[in-house]
Amino acid sequence: MQHNRLGNSELLTSEIGLGCMSLGTEENKATALIHEALDLGINFLDTADLYDSGLNEELVGKAIKDRRTDVIVATKVGNRRVPGKEGWVWDPSKAYILSAVKDSLRRLGTDYIDLYQLHGGTIDDPIEETIEAFEELKKEGLIRYYGLSSIRPNVIREYASRSGIVSLMSQYSLLDRRPEETTLPLLAKSPIRLIARGPLASGILTDQGSAKAERGYLNYTPEELAEVRAKLSSLTGDGRDLGQIAIRYALSDPAVGIVLAGASSSRQLRSNAAAATCSLLSPDELSVLQTITKANTYRDHR
């Protein structure tokens, strides 16, 4: 498993990470999947205080209790639960971040978080105040580094120019190539690295994804997705299935440090991890893949 450095940090992460949101809520199953991921060479685990109202962090914490030094733990903050009300409210305030980190540390059962990420963001947020919170936590040793999780180009530009983020998590796949327009060129000029989530496009970009394609995806109709899947499937072979081609595509841009893939079964996990040993996509193959799919762009938050 190749390891990449996130920004100017000391974080050497496996190029394929495990998105923990899809682990489920059963402790033994979640623990088994996390341990298998570590045994396969995956050392980057991503969770969030939002997932299952904090239970996901707890499951991750229990699973890594005896393997903490083998793991780079990433979690997120910014969505606050209001007592007595359903759902969450967006709160990127300094006071909330400094408070929420303590709850995440407790649930994870650790003294520090390797990568603490702002879970969203708008251009109207108190960005300087938010940055101050992360910088204070870093100085206190409660977090090692911080990053941003956002798909909004206007927000991404602000944090890239004003903060010490080492990573940006954003959706990126063959079916969502929006980062290629502005985000990846921006990161190419900096040490910040992309954590590409959703590389399999909700499972559509897998051999088993035909049924999921019937719901459509972004600006693709079900009919277009069926055609795209057929063309992509014709490129499989040489030890690469459709999902592994999709993961290798997301990893092909030099600004991408990690492809974050979820897994709810050992089969899915092993298939994702096997992309690390697949042959790289050639320039001609990349060109074909880009011809088959759309160069979709962001319409809002530009």
Which positions are annotated as active-site residues? Answer: 51
Structural Rg of the chain based on CA atoms: 19
Length of the chain: 302
* Distance (Å, whole) CA 189 – CA 128: 22
Q: Dihedral through CA 144, CA 150, CA 152, CA 154, nearest 10?
A: -10
* Distance (Å, whole) CA 94 – CA 128: 9
* Distance (Å, whole) CA 179 – CA 154: 12
Question: Where do the DSSP E strands lie in the chain?
Answer: 3-5, 12-14, 16-19, 44-46, 72-77, 79-81, 88-90, 113-119, 143-149, 167-171, 193-197, 256-262
Q: 257 in helix, strand or coil?
A: strand
Residue 79: strand pairing partners:
90
Q: How many CB atoms lie within 10 A of CB 300?
A: 8
Q: 92 in helix, strand or coil?
A: coil
* Distance (Å, whole) CA 2 – CA 160: 25
